[in-house]
A and B are shown apart, each in its own frame.
Chain A
Amino acid sequence: MKRYFDFYASMMRMSVLEQWQYPVANYFYMIGMLAEPVIYMVVWSAVANQQGGSVGGYTPGSLAAYYIVWTLVRQMNIAFTPYGWEWRIRQGRLSMSLMRPIHPLHEDVAFFAGWKVVMIVLWIPLALALSFFFKPDLHPTLLEGIIFFVSIWMAYLIRTITLSLLGMVTFWTTRVSALFELYFAAELIFSGRLVPLSLMPEWVQQAAWFMPFRWAFGFPIEALVSSMTVNDLFAGLGMQLAWVFFGILVVSQVWKVAIRQFSAVGG
């Protein structure tokens, strides 16, 4: 256990130091990502205003809150991409990680977790600026705050797991970008990224319950922004936990089979 702890601590420290060297690049990256939620926010606020002040239970103020929190959750969602897996497998880069006496996935999880620390620090001024322009309506309770904090890290784990599984398809075939694109499209619709799920048709909301996307994205935002019952909050956290355990199980089984396909030399 201690060696994992040490590994995570050093890997995260390394990643913080590394990413802190490029604040400008990281900022441009973040600002580029802001455009998407701002567009959704403006469109849906316009709709809410035309509807007489609210749409699907959201007012312009709570929409602003939803999409500003969205920007943080989006940052938490960044994990090693399946395209990265493709590159890593095709170029044989994985060989190096396989030599180490620790599962290569820990390296990814730790590295991106460290990066998150930098991103959260850089995110704060952006969130303040967005709040200044869009006047969010946000009154979380202490419990909601705590659940939110736990759930964004769970969301990070769930997304890391699903993206890794997707990336591992590359062990069998290298023509995978079509699959990735389909995955990202489904994610856009079912996660609450495009619009809060309560604005979606009923069947989408129901389907979203049984898919990982919502638990990796929409749930933390809703926990903080909309007033969920205590039961719903803990049920959501439970679903996240279930996805994490189920995901770890699947990843470790798939990994055992997949790694036999890997045949790169050097790297």
Chain B
Amino acid sequence: MNGLKLAANYLRIGIMNEFQYRANLYIQILQTFIALGTGLIGLSLVFDQVDQLGGWGKADLLAVMGVFTIMGGVIRAAIQPNMERLMDEIREGTLDYALTKPADSQLLVSVREFRLWTLVDIVVGVIVLLVALSQLNWRVDAWSVLGFLSSLVMGALMTYCFWLIITSTAFWFIRVNEIANLFEGLYAAGRWPVTIYPNWLRYGLTFLVPVAFAVTVPASALTGRLTLQTWLGALALTATLFVVARMIWRTGLKNYSGASA
């Protein structure tokens, strides 16, 4: 399988690159803990006032925060850096270098960057999640683990597709960097279960920006809230988004006329 080998090679280069800047690891650790600290302060302020929020108890919300941190780590390690590089290259015309390589262009532009140190987020997220589960007296149960892992993978895939769609619009609109900023803002909504938002916002966070599927659904799987219906819905939406993203990428590519590189 050539694609896998290609991705593995880029991953190796990415990791070697990161090892040149080891001090960044400490900065990342600090950033992760500041984000976690402010998140926990927010949670504790809410739970100073109430025992539960929209049917989610303190430990449930801690689990949501764990998943939020994990998914944030995945996005910042593997998805966002690739898409930001792609945005710049489309604008500047240097995408030529990628397109002339004998590999599937979508695969290639999606695997070139990897930020190793943001994996700190994933480690810390897993710890938070484990603390939450122990507070919930959670017992290992194959179905919920399977539901969790599969919905986490689907959530990451949907987020990737969403980013690729947005990034591909750069073929028409050229300057789309602000959209990265927009996504970061909207993603922060995932810190809380989407069920607490008013309807119009909840639908937006489910279908327009797949924050619900990226964070709330995996957390639901672990806290016994995931239904088969939701899981199947996630599967269908992942497949649809994947096809749509690929179509938009291809159409956009035909529109690309970089000639400056």
Contact = CB atoms under 8 A, between A and B. Distances in A.
Interface of A: 22, 25, 28-29, 31-36, 38-39, 42-44, 46-47, 50-51, 55, 133, 175, 177-178, 181-182, 185, 188-189, 194-195, 199-201
Given A28-B178, A29-B181, A39-B191, A175 B23 contact: yes
Contact of A178 (B30, B45, B54, B192): B30
Contact of B192 (A22, A39, A50): A39
Contact of B46 (A43, A200, A201): A43
Given A32-B182, A35-B189, A46-B196, A185 B49 contact: no
Contacts of B45: 194-195, 199-200
Given A35-B185, A46-B196, A178 B50 contact: no
A95 to B, nearest CB: 27
Interface of A is mostly: helix
Contact of A42 (B27, B175, B183, B196): B196
Interface stretch (B36-44, B80-88, B131-139): B36-44
Contacts of A178: 26-27, 30
Contacts of A34: 185
B13 interface: no
B34 A47 contact: no
Nearest to A56: B49
A188 B38 contact: yes
Nearest to A31: B182
A194 B191 CA distance: 14
A182 B189 CA distance: 22
A36 B185 contact: yes
B143 interface: no
A55 B189 contact: no
Interface string B167-210: 00000000101110111111011011000111011000000000
A117 to B, nearest CB: 20
Contacts of B23: 175
A42 B185 contact: no
Contacts of B200: 133
A28 B185 CA distance: 11
Contacts of A55: 49
Contacts of A38: 189, 201
Contacts of B192: 39, 42-43
Interface of B: 23, 26-27, 30-31, 34, 37-38, 41-42, 45-46, 48-50, 53-54, 175, 177-179, 181-186, 188-189, 191-192, 196-198, 200-201
Nearest to B198: A42
A36 B46 contact: no
A29 B178 CA distance: 6
Contact of A25 (B175, B191, B201): B175
Nearest to B183: A32
A75 B191 CA distance: 23
A194 B46 contact: no
A44 B196 CA distance: 10
A177 B48 CA distance: 32
A51 B191 CA distance: 22
A188 B186 CA distance: 18
A32 B178 contact: yes
Given A194-B42, A195-B45, A199-B45, A43 B31 contact: no
Given A28-B181, A182-B34, A35 B196 contact: no
B50 A51 contact: yes
A31 to B, nearest CB: 6
A22 B23 CA distance: 37
B201 A181 contact: no
Contact of A43 (B27, B53, B178, B182): B53
Contact of B27 (A50, A177, A185, A189): A177
Nearest to B181: A32
A231 to B, nearest CB: 29
Contacts of B188: 35-36, 39
B54 A46 contact: yes
A191 B257 CA distance: 48
Contacts of A36: 185, 188
22 contacts: A25-B178, A32-B183, A34-B185, A35-B186, A38-B189, A42-B196, A43-B192, A43-B196, A46-B53, A46-B196, A47-B46, A47-B50, A50-B53, A51-B49, A55-B49, A175-B23, A181-B27, A181-B34, A182-B34, A185-B34, A194-B45, A201-B48
B191 A28 contact: no
Greatest chain A CB density within 10 A among B26, B49, B182, B185 is at B185
B201 A42 contact: yes
Contacts of B189: 35, 38-39
